Amino acid sequence: MVFMPTGVIQILSLAYPALVNNPMTINILTDTNICSIIIPEMDALSKLQDLSTNTQLEAAEDLGCPQLSVKQQDALNVSHAMLPNGKHIHLLKTMLTSACEKDCHYCGFRSGRDLRRATLKPDEMAQAFMAIHRAGVVDGMFLSSGVAGGGVKTQDHLLATAEILRRKHAFRGYLHLKLMPGVQKAQVEQAMQLADRVSLNLEGPNTLRLEQLAPHKAFMEELLQPLKWMEEIRNTQNSHLGWNGRWPSMSTQFVVGAVGESDLELISTTEYLHQKLRLGRAYFMAFNPLKDTPFENLPPVSPVRELHLYQASFLIRDYGFSLEELPFTPDGSLPEKIDPKTAWAEENLNEKPVEINLATPEELVRIPGIGPKGALAILAARKKGGISNLEALRKIGVNPTRPARYILLNGRQPDYQLGLW
């Protein structure tokens, strides 16, 4: 049991004097355990439990991929998250309403599905969040919503919540705002002025796949266009309009494997988003069937496929790979039993290993087991005389097990033990 500090009780007593003497226990579901805090009883906090519990599979800066956990009723979903700048925080993942008029075939919130629904008004959400933020439980919030009354109206409610947090409560922490299908350009601009990250789920990689996933959403007009507006605003307006003096990053999410799309389709769209729209992060959600949905009898998708999609997207975003260089099979799949970088190396470096003491940074990061930090360490070591053996690699923080197969050290290939690559 974790109790709120006395100072927090005093702060809350000023805001909610009639409620402090009637406390309630809120369970906090984190990525590692469940804890509880004692807080003043508020109907909004009770609703927040319902809304937050069901957002586990919505990706938002999570360390690792979002996973379905054991069923926990009445628990806030607090994720251990890593921000784009590398800082770790506790992030509340929640939504304004779990009511939704959309009928996406895979979604647990689809209209008509038997589900306990809850809704919070913008001021209720802001007050409830600030209560647990002041208690030291969470540092930031990811805020989404079901679509109720149309995308524009729903977006107005999300923006109103953000406005109350920033203006009324002077919240200076991390805020990730979701964009709704059909959002207007002015709303996109306002979201960018309030949030640290803005996202809109494309769900499918193209029009055909989206029609199979969500028949009443328009891929180009409702989903892709707002992401294009974000890049246009970043290119034409002063970043000082952002709440902290810079524009927010952008992310999206795809549903993987429900409608037969290939890895090539997903990574092709991801490459476009990274290169043309400066997408910060693409998330991939391996499909898992839910009861009382049109896709309830479809098989689940292997998490290995999800992992390899993440790896391929990072190769494009961070390692200088192009779509054409990735090792897709003839049917557009990534290899199942080997990660994309190692598969590329087997085709390209097995017969032409890289000389560690002469390679460019761009060449170094293409070697399995060497990332950007490892490449910098190698460059620094070269200035001090070079690298002559595998132990020298180990001493600068680069595990030589994977690179050894694909490198030369002063013109000679080091001895290495064959592994189950």
Q: Mark residue 220 as left, alpha or beta (left: phi above 0; alpha: psi -120 to 50; beta: remaining).
A: alpha
Is there a domain that residue 231 lies in?
Answer: no
- 31 pLDDT more than 80: no
Q: What pLDDT is attached to residue 402? A: 93
Q: Residue 219 domain-assigned?
A: no
Residue 30 has pLDDT above 60, yes or no: no
pLDDT, residue 278, reads: 97
Has residue 167 been placed in a domain?
A: yes
What average pLDDT score do residues 249-264 get?
Answer: 97
Give the contacts of 141 (CB within 8 A, at least 6 positions apart). 91, 92, 93, 94, 129, 165, 173, 174, 175, 176
Does position 65 have pLDDT exceeding 90, yes or no?
no
Residue 420 pLDDT more than 50? no
Mean pLDDT, residues 300-308 = 96
CB 134 within 8 A of CB 167: no
Going by pLDDT thresholds of 50, 70 and 90, the confidence category of residue 64 is: low
Of 122, 151, 178, at which residue does a domain stop?
178
Range of the domain at 54: 6-178
Q: How far apart are CA 405 and CA 401, in angstroms?
A: 8
The pLDDT of residue 45? 74
- Which residues make Cβ contacts (< 8 Å) with residue 404, sequence separation at least 6? 390, 414, 415, 416
Domain contains 339:
no
pTM: 0.86
Residue 197 lies in a domain: no
Q: What is the pLDDT of residues 132-159, one digit of tens each?
A: 899 888 999 999 999 999 999 999 999 9
Is 70 exceeded by the pLDDT of residue 6?
no
Number of domains in the chain: 2
pLDDT, one tens digit per residue, over 243-252 is 999 999 999 9
Last-in-domain residue among 148, 178, 208: 178
Flag whether 362 is in a domain: yes
Calculate the average pLDDT of the chain.
87
- For residue range 192-235, list pLDDT tens digits in order: 999 999 999 999 999 999 999 999 999 999 999 999 999 999 99
> Per the domain annotation, does 126 fall within a domain?
yes
Residue 401 placed within a domain: yes
Q: Where are the alpha helices (DSSP H) in 349-401?
A: 361-364, 372-382, 390-395
Strand ranges, E, within 6-139: 23-29, 34-40, 75-82, 88-95
Model pLDDT, residue 126: 95
Residue 323's H or E segment, with its range, is none
Question: ∠ CA(321), CA(304), CA(79), 5° rounding?
Answer: 90
**Cβ-based neighbour number of residue 88 at 10 Å:** 12
Which pair of structure tokens corresponds to residue 69? 């956990």
* Structure confidence by residue, pLDDT tens digits, 32-52: 555 555 444 457 777 887 788
**161, 178, 195: which is the final residue of a domain?**
178
Percentage, residues of the chain above pLDDT 70:
85
Q: Which residues pair with 25 in a beta bridge?
A: 38
Looking at the DSSP bridge assignments, the partners of residue 62 are: 81
